[in-house]
Amino acid sequence: MPTWLLGALGALAAVAVGVALWARQTGEDTAVEDAARAAQSAAELAIVPVLSYDYESLEADRDRAKSYVTADYFKDYDQLFGVITDNAPSTQTKVSAEVIASGIVRSGEDRVDVLVFVDRPTTNKLTPEPVIYKDRVTVSMQKVGEDWLIDNLVTSPAAQ
């Protein structure tokens, strides 16, 4: 077998390996990008019922939020919601979250952190006209089965 033919076959094999590695990496990147987009959409959808409540429908609001969070995070959420349940009826507080914008902070195939900017118009018996609180919420989304659920969130006031 001529040497030039062996060299050509070796070069062809190297190119084939390179193409295979590139295709594999591209597939992995696409999977992460798809997961990140799905998690971002789920975070935008979930944050509204999780941060919203009405003193007249607290139990229903809590139950609605439960379907958007992981079982582990619901333990923390339920504890916080207990404080809301203790206070909201006497203050007649209503909070309705509105998503303004969001962006992906960190991504993976089964866990994605999303930064969500939220306006929270809030009323109570002392302030019947809504006061709008502007928040940044870092939402950790976890893939559970086929669903993206909130596994943690950290809320902080947005700079005005």
Digit-coded pLDDT (tens) for 35-85: 899 999 999 999 999 999 999 999 999 999 999 999 999 999 999 999 999
Q: What ranges do the domains of the chain cover?
A: 3-157
Per-residue pLDDT tens over the stretch 85-98: 999 999 999 999 99
Neighbours of 143 (CB within 10 A): 18
pLDDT (mean) for 16-43? 75
Q: What rounded mean pLDDT belongs to the chain?
A: 88
H-only helix segments in 52-126: 58-66, 71-91
Does residue 2 carry a pLDDT above 80? no
pLDDT at 126 over 80: yes
| 8, burial (CB in 10 Å: exposed 0-12, middle 13-18, buried 19+) | exposed
28: pLDDT strictly greater than 90: no
Fold designation for 3-157: Nuclear Transport Factor 2; Chain: A, (3.10.450)
Mean of the pLDDT values across residues 131-142? 95
